[in-house]
C-alpha cells in the first residue's frame, strides 16, 4: 500500500508525541494554573508500540513534547528505544535500506534541561527546541508565572550546546502587551548565543479560551521591526513542509524563523500528525475530534489492525485550518492536552 499519505497526497513523515500533559510552568497563553487538574500519561512501552506502527508506515521524524516532557520518568530510556528504530521509506516514497535512523527531537521549556542534556544526547536525541518567551528574567517570570527560572533555562540552553544537541532552536510565542517589546532583544540573543530564534504567532489554543486577533503580532510587523534593527536576508526553506519563514542578517550572523499560522497559513505542505498523552491521534492542531489509537490497542488490535486504523485516520486529515475565518471553531482540546 505504500507509505502513509492523506487524501490530498501529502506524505506524512512527522509525528509529534506528547509523553505527558503535566507542566511545571503556568504560561499566561497556555494554562489557567488550575492546581486540581487531572493529568494523563501512558506507559512508555505503550507509546513505543504506537510509534513503531507509525514508523513502519513511513514516519521519519519524531518530536517528543508535552506538557513538559522532561518531567516524564523513563524519557531517556524512551529516546534510547526510539534511536533503535529504522524508517523503511525515502522521502519520495520508495523503499530504502532499513538502516536509516529516525530524526529524534524534543521540545522543552528548559527548566530541567541542564541535568538531562547529556543523558538525552547519549541516548540518541538529535536536536532540541526550547520554548522561551522573553530574554530578561522579569518578563520571563511574568509570562511563565514561575519566579527565578530564567537562569536555569539559560544554563540548560548552554549545556545543550556543549553536548551537541544542535542546531538549538528557541521558540518565542509573541503576545501583544506581554512580550512584543522583546523582538529586537531576541535578535541580539540569536547572534550572541548562536541559536535559531523562532517567533510564533499566538494561536487560539490556550486553556482559558481568551484568544483575540488583536493579541497576535503578525509576521509583517515582526519582519519590519527586525529589518529596522538590522537588514534581513531571506533564507531558503530546509524542506517544503517547513513551518518557519527563515532569515539571517546582512552580515550572516544569527538566524530568525517566523511561524505565522494566523497571518500566513502553511497548511498546503503539512506532513505532521500528533499523538496525545492519552494515546489519541490528532490530524491537525485545530481538529474538532481525535482518534483513539490507544483504545484500539486495549481492545487487542494486532499490528496490522493498528496500521489499518492509522491509515484510515490519516485519510481524514484536514486540508487546512480556518483561523480568522467566519465560523472558525477553536479545537476540541487546548494545547497542553494536544501536545506541542
Does the annotation place 267 within a ligand binding site? Answer: yes
Does the annotation place 131 within a ligand binding site? Answer: yes
Is there a contact between 266 and 256 (Cβ–Cβ < 8 Å)?
Answer: no
Is there a contact between 22 and 75 (Cβ–Cβ < 8 Å)?
Answer: no
- Residue 338 — φ and ψ, nearest 5°? -75, -40
Confidence of residue 30 (pLDDT cuts 50, 70, 90): confident
* pLDDT tens column, 240-273: 767 789 999 999 999 999 998 776 666 667 899 9
- Residue 315 — φ and ψ, nearest 5°? -65, -15
Is a pLDDT exceeding 60 seen at residue 89? yes
* Distance, CA of 124 to CA of 105 (rounded, Å): 10
- The rounded percent of the chain whose pLDDT value lies above 70 is 84
Does the annotation place 30 within a ligand binding site? Answer: yes
Positive or negative CA dihedral for 322, 16, 130, 196? negative
Does the annotation place 169 within a ligand binding site? Answer: yes
Would you list the domain boundaries of the chain? 14-338
Does the annotation place 121 within a ligand binding site? Answer: no
Positive or negative CA dihedral for 3, 301, 275, 61? negative
* Distance, CA of 309 to CA of 306 (rounded, Å): 5
Is a pLDDT exceeding 80 seen at residue 123? yes
- The model carries a pTM of 0.90
What integer best gives the mean pLDDT of the chain?
A: 88
Does the annotation place 313 within a ligand binding site? Answer: no
Does the annotation place 148 within a ligand binding site? Answer: no
State the fold for domain 14-338.
TIM Barrel (3.20.20)
Does the annotation place 172 within a ligand binding site? Answer: no
Residue 118 burial class via C-beta count within 10 angstroms: exposed 0-12, middle 13-18, buried 19 and up:
middle
Is there a contact between 145 and 26 (Cβ–Cβ < 8 Å)?
Answer: yes
Question: Residue 37: is the preceding peptide bond cis (ω within 30°)?
Answer: no
- Residue 278 — φ and ψ, nearest 5°? -100, 15
* pLDDT tens column, 275-308: 999 999 999 877 778 999 999 999 999 999 999 9
Does the annotation place 274 within a ligand binding site? Answer: yes
In the predicted model, what is the mean pLDDT of residues 319-330? 59
Does the annotation place 32 within a ligand binding site? Answer: no
Amino acid at each position: 500500500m505504500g507509505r502513509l499519505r492523506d487524501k490530498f497526497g501529502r506524505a506524512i513523515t512527522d509525528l509529534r508525541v506528547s509523553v505527558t500533559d503535566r507542566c511545571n510552568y503556568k504560561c499566561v497563553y497556555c494554562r489557567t494554573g488550575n492546581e486540581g487538574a487531572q493529568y494523563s500519561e501512558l506507559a512508555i512501552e505503550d507509546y513505543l508500540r504506537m510509534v513503531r506502527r507509525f514508523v513502519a508506515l513511513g514516519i521519519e521524524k519524531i518530536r517528543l513534547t508535552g506538557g513538559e516532557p522532561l518531567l516524564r520518568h523513563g524519557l531517556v530510556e524512551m529516546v534510547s528505544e526510539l534511536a533503535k528504530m529504522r524508517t523503511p521509506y525515502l522521502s519520495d516514497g520508495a523503499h530504502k535500506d532499513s538502516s536509516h535512523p529516525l530524526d529524534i527531537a524534543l521540545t522543552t521549556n528548559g527548566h530541567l534541561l541542564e541535568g538531562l542534556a547529556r543523558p538525552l544526547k547519549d541516548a540518541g536525541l538529535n536536536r532540541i527546541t526550547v520554548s522561551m518567551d522573553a530574554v530578561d528574567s522579569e518578563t520571563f517570570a511574568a509570562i511563565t508565572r514561575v519566579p527565578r527560572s530564567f537562569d536555569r533555562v539559560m544554563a540548560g540552553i548552554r549545556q545543550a550546546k556543549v553536548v551537541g544537541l544542535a542546531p538549538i532552536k528557541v521558540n518565542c510565542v509573541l503576545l501583544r502587551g506581554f512580550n512584543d517589546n522583546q523582538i529586537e532583544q531576541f535578535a541580539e540573543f540569536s547572534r550572541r548565543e548562536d541559536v535559531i530564534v523562532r517567533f510564533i504567532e499566538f494561536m487560539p489554543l490556550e486553556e482559558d479560551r481568551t484568544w483575540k486577533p488583536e493579541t497576535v503580532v503578525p509576521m509583517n510587523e515582526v519582519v519590519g521591526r527586525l529589518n529596522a534593527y538590522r537588514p534581513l536576508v531571506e533564507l531558503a526553506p530546509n524542506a517544503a513542509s517547513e513551518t518557519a519563514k527563515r532569515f539571517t542578517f546582512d552580515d550572516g550572523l544569527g538566524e530568525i524563523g517566523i511561524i505565522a499560522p494566523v497571518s500566513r497559513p502553511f497548511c498546503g505542505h503539512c506532513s505532521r500528525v500528533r499523538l496525545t498523552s492519552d494515546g489519541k491521534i490528532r490530524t491537525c492542531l485545530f481538529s474538532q475530534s481525535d482518534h483513539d489509537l490507544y483504545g484500539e490497542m486495549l481492545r487487542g488490535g494486532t499490528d496490522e489492525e493498528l496500521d489499518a486504523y492509522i491509515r484510515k485516520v490519516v485519510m481524514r486529515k484536514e486540508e487546512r485550518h480556518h483561523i480568522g475565518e467566519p465560523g472558525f471553531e477553536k479545537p476540541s482540546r487546548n494545547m497542553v492536552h494536544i501536545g506541542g
